[in-house]
Amino acid sequence: MTAMELLAAAKHYWKMCTAIVVTCTLAAACVFGFVLKPQYEATSSIIAMDPSGSVSTTTLTTVVNDCVAQYDPAEGDSSIASSVGTGARSQIVSITVEESSPEEAVRVANQAAQYAAEEAQDYFASLEERRQKALVEDNSVVGGSDEPLFIQQQNEQSYAFCDFIVKDATRASAAGMGVAKGTATGFLFGSCVALCALVARLIRRTPVASKSSLEGMVGCAPVLQVTENGGGGDRLWAMLEFGVDAPISSVALLPVDKANTEPLSNVLAAAARSDRQVPTPTFVACPAWCQSSAGAVSLHNADTTVVCVKRWEDSMRDVAATLNELSYMKASIGAIALID
């Protein structure tokens, strides 16, 4: 199936496609607007530094990250995450808090930053205090001491200049999709579902989509597109006349399944009456072969048969089955009328 045929199918089945898209869009709008609570995100930061260069930036930020992880808000279900910057921002630890209200997000983010900065400051202050104490007791701290190993190995390392500067969050922004993005996502999802449903319907039912899909199905019989009210029937009559050598005395109109042959039969009869060169033939409207075989005799005896196919309603399988039956009956097929 070509892209143009798929577009034509979407136009024909527009009610189904529209219903799917609208349903998914409204469902998404309701979920994001009323079911899911809106979330807000606020970010504070801590600048960890040691102007003396005695303690590495990696050590400082690692301790700050650990302190953030230990922070426990007194209430609420805040989502707290910390991250360390890269490059020129490698000294900055960002603390991001997600909460149900913007004010709460800002408050928790600032509290978490203040807590982590104070804890980190206390930690390095205690290390410095222990280092000073060890130096007083023994200026060459060596094995046998109960001090931490890294203090023993780096007794000249100072922690006195470690500093942690808090930059408070001032505002919170909407986190997640929100109603607008959620609704847009629902629309896109609905469009994908509608497309899949359309393709599945076409594969399952294999409807006759265009004139080109019928051409070549039955030998040299031409395919002519006519309207539902019989428009184009005069051209069809001319085609039938030129398709046979002897004058036509009877024409059978056989619908594949859904086509209504009465309007086309009336137009053909009018066209035949206006042609004064030949007697007016008899037009026989037969029932669809899939519904009844009552018209078998008329089909066999008719000078020519017009197979009527309803576009989008009749399937390619039914068309093939009807043509096979006509071939078995040795019926003369003059044309296929694609009723649009």
pLDDT at 148: 52
CATH code assigned at 248: 3.40.50.300
pLDDT at 276: 63
Residues 190, 142 share a domain = no
**Would you state the structure tokens that stand for residue 140, as one six-digit string?**
């060459």
pLDDT at 241: 83
Does residue 96 come out as left (phi exceeding 0), alpha (psi in the -120 to 50 range) or beta? beta
Residues 141, 97 share a domain = yes
pLDDT at 6: 85
Amino acid identity at 172: A
pLDDT at 145: 52
**DSSP label at residue 31:** I
Mean pLDDT (whole number) for 276-289: 81
C-alpha span between 287 and 148 (Å, rounded): 99
Residues 326, 304 share a domain = yes
pLDDT at 149: 47
> Which range, 61-75, 109-123, 145-159, 167-181, is most confident?
109-123
Residues 32, 47 share a domain = no
Mean pLDDT (whole number) for 223-233: 89
Q: What percent of the chain has pLDDT over 70?
A: 91
pLDDT at 2: 75
Q: How confident is the model at residue 77 (pLDDT cuts 50, 70, 90)?
A: confident
Mean pLDDT (whole number) for 110-139: 90
Question: Which of 190, 205, 220 marks a domain boundary?
Answer: 205
Residues 328, 311 share a domain = yes
CATH code assigned at 108: 3.30.70.360
**How many structural domains is the chain composed of?**
3
C-alpha span between 55 and 122 (Å, rounded): 15
Mean pLDDT (whole number) for 165-180: 89
Q: What percent of the chain has pLDDT over 90?
A: 44
Residues in the chain: 340
Residues 234, 129 share a domain = no
Mean pLDDT (whole number) for 129-153: 63
Residues 44, 107 share a domain = yes
Residues 225, 156 share a domain = no
Residues 62, 20 share a domain = no
Q: How confident is the model at residue 85 (pLDDT cuts 50, 70, 90)?
A: very high
C-alpha span between 334 and 340 (Å, rounded): 19
Residues 216, 189 share a domain = no
Q: How confident is the model at residue 127 (pLDDT cuts 50, 70, 90)?
A: very high
**Would you state the structure tokens that stand for residue 71, as one six-digit string?**
């922070």
Give me the domain span that covers residue 70.
Answer: 39-171
Mean pLDDT (whole number) for 228-240: 88
Residues 249, 161 share a domain = no
Over 60: is that where the pLDDT of 90 sits? yes
pLDDT at 272: 86
3-state secondary structure of 324: helix
Between residues 46 and 154, the one the model is more confident about:
46
Q: What pLDDT digit, counting tens, does each position of 290-330 carry?
A: 777 777 888 888 889 999 999 998 998 999 888 888 888 88
Over 90: is that where the pLDDT of 172 sits? yes
pLDDT at 326: 86
pTM exceeds cut of 0.75 = no
pLDDT at 76: 66
Residues 226, 196 share a domain = no
pLDDT at 220: 63
CA-nearest of 182, 175, 161 to 109 is 175
Buried b / exposed e across 87-102, counting CB within 10 Å, b at 16+?
eeeebbbbbbbbbeeb
